[in-house]
Amino acid sequence: MDSKLGAYNIHDLRDMARRNLPRGVFEFVDRGTEDDNAVANNRAALERIRFRPRTLVDVSKRDLSITLFGKKQPMPFCVGPTGTAGLLWYGGELGVARAAAKAGIPFTVAVNSMTSMETIAEQAGGTLWFQLYLWSDRNYSYQIVERAKKVGFEALILTVDGAVPSNREYNHRNGFEVPIQFNTRNVTDVLSRPRWLASVFLRQLVTSGMPRFENYPPEVMDGLMSRTWKKTILKNDGMNWDDLRKLRELWPRTLMVKGVLSPQDAVKAAECGADAVIVSNHGGRNLDYSVAPIDALPGVVEAAGKRLTVIMDSGLRRGSDVVKALALGARAAFIGRAPLYGVAAHGEAGAARAIEIFREEISRVMALLGVNSVAELDRRCLQLPEMK
């Protein structure tokens, strides 16, 4: 296999992931919620933006690096929290984390990760951030915060766009829900991907048992198969701004709020002491028909961009998408599904390929735009559709 792994873009990695994974697993990664409108609209909104290139600029020394929270990184994007890579490839989460570390970009460990935060920190290294959901029993969440502090995570990300679980009907249909219960549909599905069954699922089962949420405290942690699954603990519909203030007291390092789409919320996050907001609709996975983050971004930057760092994600599949976000004022972008497609296609090498594709594409787009540094990217590089 060549160094490109037969993948010229993220779409190729997605196709490979689809071929490797049982349908239930692939759809869990790939799809959104309800009518999948937000997923499609995230793309449509990015695709409506055009570039206005400048020519005869010497771009031979262009530089993709940025400084984020005082630390230089060679590329203007980070790996966002997803926590399912372990279901896509054996040791998949470590694979993605290592690929990010080798590329010099931050990797976010999700609280719902199937590899523990300690293992990832020990075995992958690099710049590591931790993502948290606040549970109804805050003390369990605070225990996790303490652990993340001890492990040395450089940033904590509180995800705020999931007050209640989203309505992912395909997961019900595919029998892909926690706790997993076997039925004809999901058994047939899994048997249709014998390589995945043997090299991912059974291997995981034999080496460390049923996949579990390894960051959960023992009282909460339970096998995905368990019928005693304590779902009520995972509820977070009582979360509010006081929780963010409290977290600010507990967490001494960089604190980010993920899932903000309104300028007012970004200002409030700044008032509560957050260092950054991530303008995101969770990749279209939570509230269907929510506005595309790329459309919400300019308003957030205008309202709060001087008070905190603004990052954006959702729908980024090309380097050109990242460049558009940066030109609209994001200081960096997160990629979510792209490295998951990569790891499902070829393990760590596939995740590394996804990162490399973004690097190559961003560099090429900057050159063709006549831009030498990320700081030079601004609205003059873009032709925007009529904003509502």
How far apart CA 277 and CA 159 sit, in angstroms, is 10
Binding flag, residue 337, ligand FMN (CB under 6 A): yes
**Binding to ligand FMN, residues 274-303 (CB under 6 A):** 280, 282-283, 285
Q: Whole-number minimum distance, CB 320 to ligand FMN, in Å?
A: 14
Binding flag, residue 86, ligand FMN (CB under 6 A): no
Binding flag, residue 316, ligand FMN (CB under 6 A): yes
* Contact pick of 45, 49, 75, 110 for ligand FMN (by CB under 6 A): 110
* Contact pick of 29, 78, 200, 381 for ligand FMN (by CB under 6 A): 29
The number of residues that bind ligand FMN (CB under 6 A) is 23
How far apart CA 15 and CA 256 sit, in angstroms, is 33
* Contact pick of 80, 92, 95, 299 for ligand FMN (by CB under 6 A): 80
- Concerning whether 172 is annotated as a catalytic residue, the answer is no
Cis preceding linkage at 179, omega within 30: yes
Stretch that binds ligand FMN, among 197-205, 294-302, 307-315, 379-387 (CB under 6 A): 307-315
187: which residues sit within 8 A by CB, 6+ positions away?
Answer: none
Binding flag, residue 14, ligand FMN (CB under 6 A): no
Containing 132, the helix (H) or strand (E) segment is strand 128-132
Angle, helix 92-103 to helix 337-369, in steps of 10 degrees: 20
How far apart CA 55 and CA 103 sit, in angstroms, is 30
Burial, 181: exposed, middle or buried (Cβ in 10 Å; 0-12, 13-18, 19+)? exposed
Stretch that binds ligand FMN, among 217-225, 230-238, 322-330, 333-341 (CB under 6 A): 333-341
Binding flag, residue 81, ligand FMN (CB under 6 A): yes
Minimal CB distance to ligand FMN: which residue?
336
N-terminal to C-terminal alpha carbon distance within the chain: 47
Nearer to ligand FMN, 84 or 204 (CB): 84
How far apart CA 184 and CA 203 sit, in angstroms, is 22
**Binding to ligand FMN, residues 216-255 (CB under 6 A):** none
> Which residues are annotated as catalytic?
282
